[in-house]
Amino acid sequence: MAGPATHDLILTAPRLVTGTPGAGVLSPGYVAVSGGRVTQAGPGLPPQAGPGRPPPAAGIELARGLLVPGFVDLQVNGYYGEEFGTADAAGWATVVSRLPATGTTAFLPTIITAPAGRLAASLRAARTVLPGLPPGARVLGLHLEGPFISPRRKGAHNAEWITDPAPAAVADLLAAGAGLLRLVTLAPERPGAIAAITRLTEAGVLVSVGHSDATAAQVSAAADAGARMVTHVFNAQRPMHHREPGVPGQALADPRLTSGLIADLRHVAAEVCLVAFAAAPGRICLVTDAAACAGMPPGRYLLGGEPILLPDGDGVPPVRADGTLAGSALRMDTAVANMVAAGAGLADAIAAASRIPADLIGRPDLGRISPGAAADLVWLDDDLRTLAAWVGGDMVYSASEARSLT
């Protein structure tokens, strides 16, 4: 007869959100970890514990807040003063090591529109940096937001560098980003875009419709060709009209598409965020679209190698000189808290920041607390601010006031 299971770590929490569909909030709950993966999770106390008996020596009892899956952010342009398009190895290390403080344990560094040669160089540079990164948030690949976008919906992108997705241009980026390029945002109405979507999809790259003036029919054609995402829904795209659904209308109605949503409540009003959650349940993933100014004081920073200004004021997004919104300074735990404050269910908001983006990017081992999943965990306080984070079962962040984990 087999002996009792052994675990590297057992955590108990007053509330546990596993991220799995229909599980809701468990009060209390526990998670057991071994070899960097979840071995058990469920309501109540772990099997080895009981009333009056604390968890084993390897256990951690969280006295307040809730334990949730690590957040997965598919759109991070930069953070802590660093921009991924230009950051050196030290800059990458800074972001990777510090991002878990926001609850994000896995992410896609994002590079926006730039000249083709610079984009290819950024992809190659990232390949040399990744092996030497310190412990911290997982890098799941790279996201290219552009250059195949609409000049009419360019947002903060430089119009001079926007171009069509010609076969040679797509091939060059695939070659430079082989094994690393994971997501491409493009406008499906551009000449050659449908063929590009097919080529990128065949290469294993997720395609997202964004910075686009496409009609609903053109967005549907993109989904026919393999696109499965819409980048920061409602922003930098043809708006929804009752006789022409545009990009957001098709995004919310089409079951093949999952939409990124910047829930800083500045890019999209709280009421419209709730409309998106209600219209497309299970198909909204929270993204920060964070720029280099995120986690930094007000001042001047870069996005796409060009200046942006982070004004003074809590939650105010950065802007270009002409006032155009230019990414955000949003934390992922704040995005979750914003959605809950707006009226979304707690479990739904957490799933939108964890399981839904993980599934979209083809990582069913992330974004949930279930046996076999990676032990990427976040402890949130009652106000949903991150207190501690684990990646693969190893603690990578603990707030000073939470070092005792009690």
* Residues annotated as catalytic (active site), given as ranges: 289
Q: How far apart are CA 127 and CA 350, in angstroms?
A: 31
Beta-bridge mates of residue 12: 30, 61
Residue 266 is encoded by which pair of tokens?
């500045």
Q: Which 3 state secondary structure label does DSSP give 351?
A: helix
- Residues contacting 267, CB < 8 A, separation 6+: 232, 234, 235, 289, 317, 325, 328
Judge if the upstream peptide bond of residue 147 is cis by omega within 30 degrees of 0.
Answer: yes
Q: Per-residue b/e over 307-321, b at no fewer than 16 CB within 10 Å?
A: ebebeeeeeebbbbe
323 touches 333 (CB < 8 A): no
Output 122-130 pairs: Cβ under 8 A, ≥24 positions apart.
Answer: 122/84, 122/85, 122/86, 123/173, 123/176, 123/177, 123/180, 123/181, 124/176, 126/84, 126/92, 126/180, 127/180, 128/89, 129/88, 129/89, 129/92, 130/92, 130/180
Q: What CA dihedral angle connects 312, 314, 315 and 318, to 10 degrees?
A: 10
Angle, nearest 10°, between helix axes 116-129 and 89-98?
70
Containing H/E element for 126?
helix 116-129
DSSP H stretches of helix in 254-331: 270-279
Nearest-angstrom CA–CA distance, 401 and 130: 31
Residues 6+ apart with CB under 8 A from 220: 250, 254
Token reading at 103? 């609850």
The DSSP annotation for 14-41 comes to SEE---STT---BSSEEEEEETTEEEEE
